[in-house]
Copies of this chain bind each other. A is one copy, B any other.
Amino acid sequence: MVITLKPGTTEKGIQHVLDKIKELGFTPHVSKGAERTIIGVIGENAIRSREIFQAMFIVESVMPISRPYKLVSREFKSEDTVVKVGNVEIGGNKEIAVMAGPCAVESRTQLLKVAQEVKEAGARILRGGAFKPRTSPYSFQGLGEEGLKYLAEASEVTHLPVVTEARNVRQVELVARYAHIVQVGARNMQNFDLLKEVGRGKKPVLLKRGMSSTVKEFLMSAEYILSSGNYDVILCERGIRTFEDGTRFTLDLSAVSLIKQLSHLPVIVDPSHATGNRDLIGPMSRAAIAAGSDGLMIEVHSRPEEALSDGFQSIRPDDFRKLMKEVRSVARALGRKG
């Protein structure tokens, strides 16, 4: 890290900082300028002592040099991680992994019908919420374990693996019993205990980006899961919160490319929640694949106008078929398996 001292710091002040650095076992490199003195501190864990220096009154700023995450970084592992779920492979420039299904599991009939429809259109994984995080305590909160059972049945019938959300530490084991991928929702991206819990599990984890989390924080949250022992993590960009009110969130596709630079983990994109606007889901799906996304997560509902949650952002099976055709076409144009 680099420590910058305030203008006018005395020799004694500089010495005080140098002593502290040495006491902590690091090597300081001093550069004295006309106005300010800067001190480079080299050492693998130097940045963990950051706060000690920030708290000193003669210190103007402390800047990290190396990145705060290790296991998720490209520097730690240069080749792409491929997460295997049944016979689906996610990451590593393989086939585009599309997860599709209803926002919430509403009934057995609804789920079996739509599962069959998304399968026929080319989805490789079935999505559907049994435990729904809802802004209002008065909204439909999901069918719970009953919903998980319907998902397991739909998976058996269609041979599609299933991804669904665990909303708190207590649900992780239950969800993992029925699902093939455990989802951590955007509102829980910094629920650190939940991250550790899914990190101790054996099932692959789909981690959604918090709506106001930087890419760095997103990777730090993934680091929690990997450092707890689970390396099968799929990241999902789903829109960030900005001032723009023409869409529900702002889909941040440059984050996809940026993560690909910084990390070896697979990344997918959820344009349904990001835009909250049916008509933008097709274009944003094509754009996501063109930007290098390893897959998509799409809400499909046989009758969106009757959906118990988020009907406005669901598309019909027909539209989904068209979308699949287009994204495959884009993938092939860029030399990927469509």
On A, residues with C-beta under 8 Å from B are: 2, 4, 7, 29-36, 38, 40, 42-44, 48, 51-52, 54-56, 63, 65-66, 68-69, 75, 133-139, 167-170, 187-188, 190-194, 196, 210-212, 214-217, 220, 223-224, 227-228, 240-247, 250-258, 261, 274-275, 277, 279-280, 283-284, 286-292, 304-312, 314, 326, 329-330, 332-334
Contact in complex: B133, A192 (CB < 8 Å):
yes
Please, could you name 27 A-B residue pairs with CB atoms under 8 Å apart, sorted by A?
Answer: A29-B30, A33-B42, A35-B75, A36-B65, A51-B310, A51-B311, A52-B311, A55-B314, A134-B192, A135-B217, A135-B220, A136-B220, A137-B228, A168-B168, A168-B193, A170-B193, A187-B190, A188-B191, A212-B243, A243-B243, A244-B252, A247-B254, A253-B253, A254-B283, A283-B292, A330-B334, A332-B333
Given contacts A4-B65, A250-B250, 8 further A-B contacts (CB under 8 A): A35-B44, A52-B306, A135-B190, A243-B243, A247-B255, A254-B277, A256-B283, A286-B334
State the copy count for this chain.
4
Q: How far is the CB of A135 from chain B (nearest CB, A)?
A: 5
**Across the interface, do A51 and B133 meet the contact criterion of CB distance under 8 Å?**
no
List residues of chain B with CB within 8 A of the CB of A168: 168-169, 191, 193-194
Least Cβ–Cβ distance between A98 and chain B, in angstroms = 16
A307–B113 alpha-carbon span in the complex (Å): 58
Give CA–CA (A247, B330) in the complex, Å. 25
Q: Which residue of B lies closest to A48 (CB)?
A: B138
- Distance in Å: Cβ of A219 to nearest Cβ of chain B: 10
- Whole-angstrom CA separation of A240 from B244 in the bound complex: 9
- Distance of A280 from chain B, by nearest CB (Å): 5
User: Which residues on the B side are within 8 Å of A274 (C-beta)?
Assistant: 254
SS class of chain A's interface: helix, strand, loop or mixed? mixed
List chain B residues, Cβ under 8 A from A214. 243-246
CB pair A253–B255 under 8 Å, yes or no, is: no
With a cutoff of 8 Å between Cβ atoms, the chain B residues found around residue A307 in the complex are 51, 55
On chain B, the residues within 8 Å of A332 by CB distance are: 333
Whether B33 lies near A133 (C-beta < 8 A) is: no
Q: Shortest Cβ distance from A12 into chain B, in angstroms?
A: 16
Taking a contact as CB atoms closer than 8 A, the residue among B40, B284, B329 that contacts A291 in the complex is: B284
- Find A304's partner among B55, B227, B333 (CB 8 Å cutoff): B55
Candidates B257, B279, B291; contact of A257 at CB < 8 Å: B279
Q: Chain B's nearest CB lies how many Å from the CB of A197? A: 9
